[in-house]
Amino acid sequence: MENRKLSCADCVVTNCNKMDKAYPAFCLTTNMDEAVKKEAMDTYNEEGNLKVMQTAAEVEHEGYLQWCRVREIIEFAKKMGYKKLGIATCVGLIRETRLLTDILRSHGFEVFGIACKAGTVPKAEMGIDKSCCDVGVNMCNPILQAKMLNKEKTEMNIVMGLCVGHDSLFYKYSDALVTTLIAKDRVMGHNPAAALYTSNSYYKGLKKNQ
């Protein structure tokens, strides 16, 4: 058996949540690097981080098992005092983005959205293999999406179905806080967790060598 360093990803106890059980021997809570913990806790006092944490906790409490994620985003943005929201959307989800925009505007928000193909840059210009053009000749441009929303001075950005990796670049270059409403998964109807729930049945092939 390979020598693994166990972590929270291997835990079936989660005593850190309710503290009514024994911690496993490898628990990160009882084996915590206190210097890293102190650094993290000190960081909550920087650049409005504490307000974000406090507001997120309020939204979780007030809407627990009642509010959908769209409502949570609305309430969070209101409590934070945000007026202008950005949307970074996949062109394949532009209909859903229009619906979201209509909802957000009904709550008084200014909304600015940019689609992934805006600017129409051919994939060939980025050295992307021509076989990738089978699903479209123009590249997705998450860095441009981030830069455009930065220019518009949006206060919070919402990701609508950006591709894996493209979303990562958007998060990296967005000046504003980012939350994700839709994680793209065309096979699962944009519900990626469904593959996990069926990984021992219909999608057992996700596990290597099975």
Number of structural domains (the chain) is 1
What mean pLDDT comes out for the span 77-87?
Answer: 98
Residue 17 falls within a domain, yes or no? no
Q: Which domain holds residue 156?
A: 69-210
Residue 26 falls within a domain, yes or no? no
Residue 201 falls within a domain, yes or no? yes
Residue 202 falls within a domain, yes or no? yes
Residue 40 falls within a domain, yes or no? no
CA distances from 139 to 40, 57, 60, 129 (A): 37, 38, 37, 11
pLDDT tens, 114-155? 999 999 988 888 888 888 888 878 889 999 999 999 999 999
pLDDT band at residue 207, thresholds of 50, 70 and 90? confident
User: Is residue 1 pLDDT above 80, yes or no?
Assistant: no
Residue 150 falls within a domain, yes or no? yes
CATH number of the domain that 121 lies in?
Answer: 3.40.50.1860
pLDDT of residue 210: 56
Interhelix angle for 69-80 vs 49-63, to 10°?
140
pLDDT tens, 16-63? 998 888 999 999 999 999 999 999 999 999 989 999 999 999 999 999
Percent of the chain with pLDDT over 90: 81
Average pLDDT, the chain: 94
pLDDT band at residue 65, thresholds of 50, 70 and 90? very high
pLDDT of residue 23: 93
Phi first, then psi: give them for residue 44, nearest 5 degrees: -65, -15
Residue 95 falls within a domain, yes or no? yes
Residue 168 falls within a domain, yes or no? yes
CB atoms within 10 A of CB 100: 22
pTM (2 decimals)?
0.93
- Asked whether the beta carbons of 84 and 152 are under 8 A apart, the reply is yes
Which stretches of the chain are DSSP H helices? 15-18, 34-43, 49-63, 69-80, 94-106, 142-151, 166-173, 193-197
pLDDT of residue 130: 86
